[in-house]
Structure 1
């Protein structure tokens, strides 16, 4: 018996002893074959048992002399990685090429169906973040059916958290930490850390840190110890400067540079921030309009107040303002607020553009813009006039929160528009009266305080505010000190202004602490030179919780200052009390001499109380020499008639 026949019979005996098993072979370009078995129970223990029991046969003998796979023609071609099926049952031993191809296609299709049936459904973080409204919703889905990879759950939770306010985010994080499935998710992330793709690992670490999980926890430290991350961090720390390392800072694309700057964060060293700032200034000529618009948010993200960058980008944004999306305008103003950056040309450009295209914007969008302007103290007159008209016509589309915000903006900026203001305030008050039973005590107080600042007194709102249970609620919950101050303001307005309900109020309001008084020292010195000691008083407290920096007593003609004494030699009717108020720039609207609401109300109430009010701007006095400051105060304190008489007397004596 020759060797070929002997080999054939030996193979036949070996195959006849095996249980028929469908087996998939992968043909590699180098002609090596690996069996790939489809198992009914995907289990590590079953896999090992099956491997031990079924892989005893030496398939290599089958390929010794019995079967030859052709590389071309009507045989099975091995292009790349191919799959064929070989049966170890003796009945299927010698198969023709056609039968082998049929068997191959049949088994391959069966394997595809089996694989699709048993392949786990991967969770998509974007879809998950769209379907869920809270962090707990994501954890609920995880607890029902955990799927690979767990990094998507954390990514989805961070995406949802970014949409929340700070208070809501804080509350949701607490619920997340207390959720029973949270610890299970952390454990699964730690188990999957070594087999995650690199991008999933990075996204997991990013989301976990952003969600506020402490860095000294086992979860964070486990991720940091994964080989790919630890090696990367170690290499970056130990690499010496070279062309490839320094290439990181040779960024040519502005968008890439802004992405790096945004990723730096607020807590990084100021030296690194300035280096990136210099790089941005170097590439300033390459900035597109979109780059300039986004630069505000980039600087706010890294908390870096770069005046040069902000000024240059403001010029580009202002000159290309038309067609700018409203969302971009809002983002620019929010970033300016976060950076405490004011640019009157930028603000005027945005306000003029919105006023020009006013009819295409929704009322609530314009209101959001006005709220941001009010934060800066900026008063866009034209835009606010247009808003008054439209708000009076469409007040039914505004909710309580919007109505309160509108009143706060207009009272804070002390804005009136001809005869439209009275109608506007009446419409706003009527809309609030319709929601009187749904409005909170604090919103009611804010609304009443705002309309009182504007000398408007809606009886229904005021009567509701003065209810004992409402007052008690305001003085025992929320910001009690602020509520008490506003109640004092309302009480002062009702007593001093020409209010229809000027009856005495029996409000048991707490006594407010005296405001920190620090009169302008230069003004005090100038008054001493001008009037002499004993002719003025400093830090005077008045009824209704008002304070004035200096009080001067003069005759009715304001031609002579009278000394303060325990017993006045003249009657009260012969005295003109003069109140000197030293105010900062913040008491006025931005880039104007228009007083804000509180200063305007205080001046009005002081006049009602019998004072002649003199307003001294601190920043103007600081620029003057002492001699000039004395002359400046003299022209403000004495009446023009008295000054002209004094000049005439001086000339006659000369």
Structure 2
């Protein structure tokens, strides 16, 4: 008897939470209705009488920070409301306790829509046949997704016999939506919003939110957001608030689900609060995470704005779990660290070794993800890049042309020149030039010119094939694309006549100078004009339309150590000139004057010696690593053009590597520069090195 009385009182308290005690704004779960006043004066003693007299249960929601309701069909948008909403149900749906954690439930044995005819109290452990008949059997979201073919089918099943929890229906609908085509999905979602049972399902979700298992609550929110329910609706904000209140119930799996859901949501007060709570919780539970996949999911979606201390802690946890990493985990770690915006060289090096050892069979998307992440993290690993390039070159026939071109673009961003792969592509293009579309032509020209890639005797044949492909696209190519293509050609010292004649028309030049990225267009036109004037080409027509003068280039590098070393070698500052500005907007760090045998230096103050017929000008260039391809002495495109043009202007180019000189003492720098300035045959003995 005492058990029955306790059960009745518990159910009574549950109903008391559902009935409003004040005047509130009445809205539907999606915020799509008008305001209505609801007054209630009742107590626990006349509960059943109130139901018999038509009293409708109501539900009160609270949101401390922001409460947003979408305005639809002349509904007033509400913002900043602390007391949320009251809902009217088409039929009485009694609050049900979870069958696995409660002994008693309240069910209706009537069929009327508006009135509760009879309330039966029973034990969940009872084998009463009538109770079994009236209690719907829960159905999993997997079974729902298998039995239903559309989102409306799921809602139909819910309307016939709703079961707890409502998250199963949302999860089933999202599972179905993922497996159908995009066009059909959009149509199905529209039908879902119009379905009469959808609002009722939303009411169920909010009614059950506080007693639903936490993981089901997270799955509901994830499915609701993915299905396109607006984030500023009452239901989404209510779920966010309840998830925030119950965040301490998060287990290891829930952490990954919650971090994934928050990543897809737009910023708002409740999302910010929940994200902050998630970061605190991860900081507390990071050492308890056992599964590598869950750890990586949390790391990926924890957010770039996470504190450095938490990022370091997650990094240490990942390093601790390295012995559990599979090949897939190692491949995925690059994307994870890029999403965190955390550059862990130790972790990247370890994962690179496993990726390199298991590169064969790696999918294209994974290769792209690794290379893109390396660019984002500014991580350069030549062994990793070489293994990817060699793998693609070895299996070249299984890849599509556009896939190879896309990988080359990523390599170009990383400053790594995959010579063998580029040679393979050159052969493919020479065999099938018609396989290139306009986008591929521009990309290939950009990559090969940027890398200054030359393949011996095949180079001319390759450039002719590219020029032929470009000529075939002239009739539908924009002026900017034409300029980009010819800019790449001139860097490679090749000048196709038909595209050049098209570009140098007055109307095309005027269009380039008045539309698009004018600054970039002017720079490329200057480079093209310089190449036409200085390079050995049969096309001697330069751009005659006046171009705006570009600003003089800034010195690439300034090092007083080089200046001191030159003073010692050349007998003072009169033996060289610094920061010299040349025609065509070229700049050199130091200029020296020597005889043609490079055995004697002429002083700038001696006019007679400076005007000698056997004098040769020397250009000393202080260059950083970026002018070369990764870990090589192969110059990149624009730097190779500069050296080519300096030679055409009569200069002997002397390159000084900044990164090498920085490590040397002054005496060693003097020796290095002296060997670079003077020829091997010359043995100057009158140079004062003191």
User: How does the TM-score come out when normalised to structure 1?
Assistant: 0.71
Secondary structure, counterpart of 1:540 in structure 2: strand
For 1:152-551, list aligned pairs within 5 A.
Answer: 185=230, 189-190=233-234, 193-194=237-238, 213-216=266-269, 220=270, 233=277, 248-517=286-555, 518-531=557-570, 532-551=572-591
Aligned-residue offset at 1:622 = 1.2
**What does residue 613 of structure 2 align with?**
573
* Cα distance in structure 1, aligned partners of 2:527 and 2:392: 34
Match of 1:34 in 2: 108
Secondary structure of 2:365's aligned partner: helix
Structure 1 pair 214–193 and aligned structure 2 pair: CA distance change class (3 A): closer
**Do the aligned residues in 2 keep the contact of 1:125 with 1:153 (CA within 8 Å)?**
no
The Cα shift of 1:449 comes to 0.8
Tell me the alpha carbon deviations over residues 6-35 of structure 1, each in whole angstroms, 9 at most, x when there is no partner: xxxxxxxxxxxxxxxxx9999x99999733
1:549-588 to structure 2, matched below 5 A, reads 549-565=589-605, 567-568=607-608, 571=611, 573-588=613-628
Match of 1:315, SS state, is helix
Would the aligned equivalents of 2:393 and 2:420 in 1 still touch at CA under 8 Å? yes
Give the Cα separation in 2 of the matches to 1:141 and 1:330. Answer: 37
Q: Where does residue 100 of structure 1 map in the other structure?
A: none
Residues 209 and 215 in structure 1, CA contact (< 8 A), matched pair in contact too: no
* 1:607-649 residue CA offsets vs partner (Å, 9 max, x unmatched): 1111111111111111211111112111111223332xx35x8
SS of match in other structure, 2:662: helix
Task: Report how far residue 337 of structure 1 moved.
Answer: 0.8
Tell me the distance in 1 between the aligned counterparts of 2:320 and 2:303: 21
Check the 8 A contact 2:259/2:302 in 1, yes or no: no
Q: Distance in 2 between matches of 1:560 and 1:31?
A: 104
CA–CA distance in structure 2, aligned partners of residues 419 and 497 of structure 1: 20
Task: Give CA deviations for 1:130-185 in whole Å, capped at 9, x if unaligned.
Answer: 6558999999878877945789999789879xxxxxxxxxxxxxxxxxxxxx9x94
8 Å contact kept, 1:444–1:465: yes
* Change in 2 beyond 3 A, CA 1:210/1:257: closer
Cα drift, residue 571 of structure 1: 3.4
C-alpha separation between the residues in 1 aligned to 2:230 and 2:104?
Answer: 44
Structure 2 partner of 1:623: 663
Provide the aligned C-alpha RMSD in A. 4.4
Residue 116 (structure 2) pairs with residue 78 (structure 1): no
What pairs with 1:6-85 in structure 2 (closer than 5 Å)? 34-39=108-113, 47=114, 51=115, 78=129, 80-83=131-134
3-state SS of paired residue (1:579): strand
Distance across 2 between alignment mates of 1:140 and 1:535: 80
What are the ranges of 5 or more consecutive residues in structure 1 without an aligned counterpart? 1-22, 40-46, 61-70, 85-111, 161-181
Instruction: For residue 393 of structure 1, report the CA deviation from its aligned partner.
Output: 2.2
CA contact (8 A) 2:529 2:542 kept: no
Q: State the distance in 2 between where 1:191 and 1:157 align.
A: 9
Give the whole-Å Cα distance in 1 for the aligned partners of 2:242 and 2:647.
72
Q: How many residues align?
A: 531
Counterpart CA distance in 2 for 1:543 and 1:474 is: 24
Deviations 1:495-527 (A, max 9, x none): 111222212431311111111224332111111
Deviation for aligned residue 1:212: 7.5
Cα shift readout 1:267-318 (whole Å, capped 9, x = no counterpart):
1111111111111111111211111111111111111111111111111111
CA distance in 2, matches of 1:293, 1:371: 20
**Greater shift after overlay, 141-150 or 459-468?**
141-150
Give yes or no for contact 2:327–2:358 (8 Å, CA) kept in 1: yes
Counterpart for residue 595 of structure 1: 635
SS in 2 for 1:549: strand
CA distance in 1, matches of 2:158, 2:236: 25
Q: Distance in 1 between matches of 2:186 and 2:93?
A: 47
The DSSP-based 3-state class of the residue aligned with 1:257 is: helix
Distance 2:548 2:93 in 1: 88
CA shift for structure 1 position 186: 5.3
Change (3 A) 1:291 1:30: closer
Q: 1:155 to 1:428 in 2, by over 3 A?
A: farther
Provide Cα deviations, 1:504-558, integer angstroms capped at 9, x if missing partner. 4313111111112243321111111111112211111111111111111122222
Map 1:106-185 → 2, pairs under 5 A: 115-116=159-160, 124-125=173-174, 132=182, 147-148=198-199, 185=230
Distance in 2 (alpha carbons) for counterparts of 1:415 and 1:612: 23
Distance 1:292 1:213, change over 3 A: closer
Larger helix fraction of residues:
1
Instruction: State whether residues 138 and 157 of structure 1, in contact with CA within 8 Å, keep that contact through their aligned partners in structure 2.
Output: no
Which of 198-207 and 580-589 deviates more? 198-207
Cα 1:114–1:312 change in 2 (3 A) is closer
Separation in 1 of the partners of 2:225 and 2:92?
43
SS of the equivalent of 2:453 reads coil
Q: What's the CA shift for 1:114?
A: 12
Q: For the Cα contact (< 8 Å) 1:407–1:451, is it kept in 2?
A: yes
Cα deviation code 1:377-413 (max 9, x no counterpart): 1111111111100122233222211111101111111
How far apart in 1 are the matches of 2:586 and 2:453? 23
Equivalents in 1 of 2:672, 2:565: separation in Å?
9
> Would the alpha carbon gap of residues 34 and 157 (structure 1) be closer, same or farther in structure 2, given more than 3 Å must change?
closer
Q: Distance in 1 between matches of 2:222 and 2:588?
A: 56
Partners of 1:550 and 1:429 in 2: CA distance: 38
Greater mean alpha carbon deviation, residues 203-212 or residues 555-564: 203-212
Closer, same or farther: CA 154–553 of 1 in aligned 2, 3 Å: farther
Match of 1:98 in 2: none
Larger Rg, first or second structure (1 or 2): 1
Give the Cα separation in 2 of the matches to 1:32 and 1:256. Answer: 39
Whole-Å Cα distance in 2 between the matches of residues 638 and 397 of structure 1? 51
Aligned-pair distance for 1:588? 0.7
1:612 aligns with 2:665: no
